Amino acid sequence: MSVSTPEKKDIQETPEAGFGKRSPGRRLIEANTFWIGLVLVALVVLFSAIAPDSFPTLFTFQTLFIESSVLLILSVGMTFVIITSGIDLSVGSVLILAGMVAGKTMEGMSGGDASKAGWGVITVGLVVAVITGTIWGLINGFLVAVAKIPALIVTLGTMGAALATAYLLNGGSDLRTVPAALTQTLGYGTSFGVVPNLVIVAIVITVIGAWLLRTTKFGRYTFAVGSNAEGSRRAGIGVTMHLLKVYTLTGFLAGIAGFLSLAYYNSTTISGHTTDNLNAIAAVVMGGTSLFGGVGTILGTVIGVFIPAVLRKGFNIIHVQDFWQMFIVSWVLVAAVWFDQRRRRRRNSR
């Protein structure tokens, strides 16, 4: 048989022939993040060429980064969840709820108007926001990992529940008194002259997230669970516990994001966050993380957050209606999943 001849050669190949690492150049070209990174660079170059006076400015980039910070933090958590082949639709609502609970607490401690509250009250507010997010994440994790209800349904449920709770807490309206000390430092303040504080927080969290995912056992198990949950269980990994931790981490980050959002917008801005969950998922998936689990990077997610943001900013500056941004991003998202699926099918047919 002619087919068997080349395969036979393969067997007799000496073991030393393999075991190579791919060259850095080849690895770069084979990396998803490289290509979407190029797209981002191309967009920035394109808009800079069209509007050289207004796009490539310090102000544009400052606002671009600030406006992306909150979404970036949500997306870092979402990356972990999606790598485990799960999903978390509740992040936007948890953000709102955490902000609302923190705001309510701060108001309560200052007798109804928190505008002039000091750092003691603000610290309590931060702790409350983080705890709220973490508990909500824990509930998600428990229902997904222990009760084994599909993540889509669990987080669809907790999304509605968190949003409803936030409305109930303040009679259906936004909360508007936020400590001025908080908005002036964390919300609008800058460090080193030009870097917004909000952005610094987002960068720190993103770097820690990337470190956690890329170099630690926690990250390795996140990939393993998403790649083959049953196999991981057989290898002695506590899959249930790990999923619980991942959903809790996402809730924790949503809690932080809720507090930052409160600081920046000076209000709970409930209606402004109702599509945050989908934006985060879109960013993560566009960034090359696979909805089927086992694959993903934080760097990709960062790029995935900035592609829509740059598009929106650019369209605003060159006076194109930013509905076009939504239109384009939606189709890019579908294309990204399609490519991922094709890649997978090709691989599995071997």
Structure tokens at 10: 């393969």
Amino acid at position 283, single letter? A
- Told to check if 27 binds other proteins by CB under 8 A, we report yes
In whole angstroms, how close is the CB of 5 to other proteins at the nearest point?
11
- Told to check if 16 binds other proteins by CB under 8 A, we report yes
Q: Report d(CA 303, CA 322) in Å as an integer.
A: 19
- Told to check if 5 binds other proteins by CB under 8 A, we report no
- Told to check if 7 binds other proteins by CB under 8 A, we report yes
Residues 215-244 that bind other proteins (CB under 8 A): 215-218, 220, 223-224, 226-228, 230-232, 234-237
Structure tokens at 270: 């409930």
- Told to check if 345 binds other proteins by CB under 8 A, we report no
Beta carbons of 142 and 241 less than 8 angstroms apart: no
Structure tokens at 91: 């992040």
Secondary structure letter of residue 177 according to DSSP: -
Provide the CA 346 distance to its chain's centre, in angstroms.
Answer: 28
- Told to check if 20 binds other proteins by CB under 8 A, we report yes
Specify the residue, 85 or 93, whose C-beta has the smaller distance to other proteins: 85
- Give residues with Cβ within 8 angstroms of 303, minimum separation 6: 33, 36, 37, 39, 40, 286, 287
In whole angstroms, how close is the CB of 74 to other proteins at the nearest point?
23
Specify the residue, 196 or 293, whose C-beta has the smaller distance to other proteins: 293
Specify the residue, 93 or 297, whose C-beta has the smaller distance to other proteins: 297
Other CB atoms within 10 Å distance of the CB of residue 112: 8
Amino acid at position 219, single letter? G
- Told to check if 319 binds other proteins by CB under 8 A, we report no
- Told to check if 316 binds other proteins by CB under 8 A, we report no
**Which among 72, 89, 93 is positioned nearest to 81, based on CA atoms?**
89
Structure tokens at 280: 């985060």
Q: Which of 73, 76, 91, 295 binds other proteins (CB under 8 A)?
A: 295
- Told to check if 80 binds other proteins by CB under 8 A, we report no
Q: Give, in order, the Cα–Cα distances in Å from 96 to each of 312, 318, 345.
A: 23, 32, 39
Q: Which of 2, 111, 193, 347 binds other proteins (CB under 8 A)?
A: 347
Specify the residue, 11 or 147, whose C-beta has the smaller distance to other proteins: 11
In whole angstroms, how close is the CB of 344 to other proteins at the nearest point?
8
CB contact burial 1-33 (16+ within 10 A = b; e otherwise): eeeeeeeeeeeeeeeeeeeeeeeeeeeeeeebb
Provide the CA 250 distance to its chain's centre, in angstroms.
Answer: 9
Tell me the window of 123-131, 210-218, 271-279, 310-318 that interacts with other proteins (CB under 8 A): 210-218
The residues of the shown chain that bind other proteins, judged by CB under 8 A, are 4, 7-8, 10-11, 13-22, 27, 212, 215-218, 220, 223-224, 226-228, 230-232, 234-237, 290, 293-295, 347-348, 350
